[in-house]
Amino acid sequence: MEQHHGQVLYFQQVKSLLPPHISFADEIARVLDISTDSAYRRIRGEKPITFDDIEKLSARYRISLDQFLHLQSSAIIFTGRLDQASASFIDDYLNNMLQQFEFMRGFEHKHIYFLPNDIAPFMYFQFPELAAFTFFYYMKSLLNLDHMRDLKFAVKNINEAQVKLGKKVQESFNQIPSTEIWGADTIDSLLRHISFYRDTHVFETKEDIFCIYDKLEDLVTHIEKQAEYGFKFTYGEPFTNNSGSFRLYFNDLISGDNCVLAEIGDKRITYINHNLINFMYTRDEPFNQYTSETFQNAIRKSTQISLVGEKARTRFFNMLRKKIQLQREAVNHY
């Protein structure tokens, strides 16, 4: 491959990773700390880029050189971060999630495929009480933060700043078309968290427990409405021109693993959940193609309950509400 041709292809790869509204030359100039004119010459292959340039660009845009050069390798390159147990964890977690969704929103074509093993946290964020409970669970039970050890959960202690940031995440997600495949156990994980805290007296009052069950039931009913209309929208508000489409399928054989496939422009990204709370992602095209085929196969074997299938949809969401109601009855013995 001639040097200038390979260089041009490399920059085309970089450009494909950027939202279309961003000035490509200005972006390259900023990353490499060069003039816009010099950036144009490199983009066109008129001036060779150095290894330092490649290192900066590849690190900034998470480009795997072995994949770009089509080297024969069985390695699949993933990128991610290990969230640390610190006081800033929730803010960092939310800002990273918001950054991912805002990046996707910048593309004309965008779609998220999701196979959850529980309700996605960004759906909780439109309910401050559920958001606060989720954050509490993360910090107390997953990250084992020292200052959380003896704390009890109380709705009155909601962190308004975190709730506000979480709502931004949820609103950004709502503008991205998505397809989800749910199973009969999709809400079971959250119900286990609630019942464990209930049985171990982590809730401050009985009213706090009832509140979380009530808000979870409100969320389930809201998702049912989204499935009925085929659009995502904020609880208590009508859907708008920016509302993303919402396709929901039910499959009683498949257990989700929180895998996400995002289509952005003509590229795809697969996100994989690991170590309970962290995500890593890859742009490896063979892997993404395999993931896409897996999703399409699962969809073919599932029942669509959005827009159509009213009877199946009603039966499914009634089943979820019944699970919540059965647990709520146990609160009387708290």
Domain residue limits, the chain: 3-68, 81-333
Q: Compute the CA torsion angle 297, 298, 299, 303 (nearest 10 deg).
A: 130
Identify whether the C-beta of residue 202 lies closer than 8 Å to the C-beta of residue 152.
yes
Lookup: tokens for 292: 């896409």
Residues of the chain with pLDDT under 70: 1-3, 64-73, 83-85, 333-334
| The predicted structure's pLDDT at residue 295 | 96
Q: Per residue in 180-230, pLDDT tens?
A: 999 999 999 999 999 999 999 999 999 999 999 999 999 999 999 999 999
| The predicted structure's pLDDT at residue 1 | 42
φ, ψ of residue 227 to 5 degrees: the values are -65, -40
Find residue 274's DSSP bridge partners.
278
| Best CA proximity match to 203, nearest among 157, 154, 145 | 154
| The predicted structure's pLDDT at residue 334 | 63
| The predicted structure's pLDDT at residue 73 | 61
Which SS3 state, helix, strand or coil, does residue 1 take?
coil
pTM: 0.81
| The predicted structure's pLDDT at residue 196 | 96
Nearest-angstrom CA–CA distance, 234 and 127: 10
Which SS3 state, helix, strand or coil, does residue 263 take?
strand
Whole-Å CA distances, 18 to 13, 71, 225, 239: 9, 24, 34, 28
Lookup: tokens for 6: 């390979």
